[in-house]
Amino acid sequence: MDPVLNPYTPNAGEKPDVLVGRDDLIANFEVLLKRTMRGRSARSMIVTGLRGVGKTVLLDRFRELALGFGWSVLEMEVDKLDDGAFRQELALRLRTALLDLSPRSRWTDRFKRAAAALSSFTVKFDSSGQPSFSLNVDTIEGLADHANLTMDLTDVFLAVGAAAQERGTGLVLLLDEIQFLSREQFSAIIMALHKTVQRKLPIVLVGAGLPQLPELAGDAKSYSERLFTFPEIGNLNPEHAKVAMQGPALLENVKYDPQAIDLAIQVTEGYPYFIQELGWAAWNIATTSPIVKNDIKLAIDRYQAQLDASFFRVRFERTTPKQAAYLRAMAELGPDMQSSGDIAEILGKDSTQVGNIRAELIELGLIYAPQRGYAAFTVPHFDEFMRRAMPAVVNI
């Protein structure tokens, strides 16, 4: 097939030409926006799932919907930042959102108050002594200047929410990789959002991240389960997976033989990113329509090599030898969650002797704790990759 016409998108966070299997979540997000605008009670969302299941793609779809409703959108991929850098990053994006809600020339008193809150919220100087950005407005004593992240962020959210409400619109915060927030930062966001809900202000938050997020949110604030829903997304069911595999090709008038589709779903297990990667490889190998089973067979090696070289390898190369050995021991036990004791036993250690390695891997986002005393991979099929990358278990 012509590689220029290849319709598959095996790139991190890139929206596929055919998005399936997420209709319920998209409909729930529309309801969330509509209820919020009517001043009705509605819970924001924190979407969880493994790497490669389409969380970032879903956030992008939410962005499109929010813009279609006339809302302002703040997008942020969370990184591990100290509180000063976090304030700076968030304030820059809130500044953009505020200007999106109204140009400076049309600012009312509410907008000027929101700008004053942002000016106070932002750290005035960075570590090198350079001044940070300013909205060139006078600050207001007692507004977002408490030197307390929760109190200051609450003032900012309330002021920006009031400004948006005055314009008859709202603000959606889309935070990806939200598990990288510190506990204090997560708690501050939850408490600030809670206050906007109490005041019936049009601010909605959708976070996305790894499966431990409901626990992290609960740790940050006990009432988080009343503030958010926690939908979990995973692999597509067989019917949706078939559509995801066939749909992009049909846009280019190329079909699949049913046996080819069945093999593709068997290989990818319905994981959205893997479908895109295998579809990309199969398209480039096939010469005519329909794409047949043998094309898929020939594409599997190329598909696997590409996953190993990028999707898997980039994560593996972040590890130390001891961390890699821990991951290999997990892989020896299989793809499901494993007890810390069993992993330590494979390594010839007591679980207390390798607990720090487990913690480091959780911090890196390579594993998570589905329940106390257990560990699971955050990347589908990572156990298979580890067995290819490290043929034998290594003692530490």
| Domain 23-229 indexed as CATH 3.40.50.300 | yes
Helices (H), ranges, 317-381: 321-333, 340-346, 355-364
- Beta strands 374-377 and 338-339 are antiparallel
Give the model confidence (pLDDT) of 250-293 as tens digits: 999 999 999 999 999 999 999 999 999 999 999 999 999 999 99
Give the model confidence (pLDDT) of 35-93 as tens digits: 999 988 889 999 999 999 999 999 999 999 999 999 999 999 999 999 999 999 999 99
Type of residue numbered 104:
R
Give the model confidence (pLDDT) of 283-299 as tens digits: 999 999 999 999 999 99
Reply yes or no on whether the pLDDT at 187 is more than 50.
yes
Q: What average pLDDT does the segment 111-125 reach?
A: 83
Reply yes or no on whether the pLDDT at 111 is more than 90.
yes
Three-state SS for 153? Answer: helix
Domain ranges of the chain: 23-229, 236-315, 319-389
Q: Name the band, by pLDDT with cuts 50, 70 and 90, for residue 14.
A: confident
Which pLDDT value is given to residue 131? 41
Q: How many residues does the chain have?
A: 396
* C-beta neighbour count of 261 within 10 angstroms: 21
Which pLDDT value is given to residue 136? 60
Give the model confidence (pLDDT) of 125-156 as tens digits: 445 544 444 556 677 878 988 989 999 999 99
Give the model confidence (pLDDT) of 291-339 as tens digits: 999 999 999 999 999 999 989 999 999 999 999 999 999 999 999 999 9
The larger pLDDT score, comparing residue 244 to residue 16, is at 244
Give the model confidence (pLDDT) of 22-35 as tens digits: 999 999 999 999 99
Reply yes or no on whether the pLDDT at 18 is more than 90.
no
- Among 10-24, 120-134, 156-170, top mean pLDDT goes to 156-170
Highest CATH level, class, for 236-315 = mainly alpha
Which pLDDT value is given to residue 221? 67
> Measuring CA to CA, which residue among 92, 97, 95, 93 is closest to residue 66?
97
Q: What is the DSSP string of 50-80?
A: -TTSSHHHHHHHHHHHHHHTT-EEEEEE---
Give the model confidence (pLDDT) of 342-360 as tens digits: 999 999 999 889 999 999 9
Cis omega (within 30 of 0) on the bond before 370? no
CATH topology of domain 319-389: Arc Repressor Mutant, subunit A (1.10.10)
Three-state SS for 38? Answer: coil
Which DSSP state fits 14?
A: P
Which pLDDT value is given to residue 220? 67
pTM of the model: 0.88
Are residues 173 and 100 in contact, defined by beta-carbon separation less than 8 angstroms?
Answer: no
Which pLDDT value is given to residue 133? 47
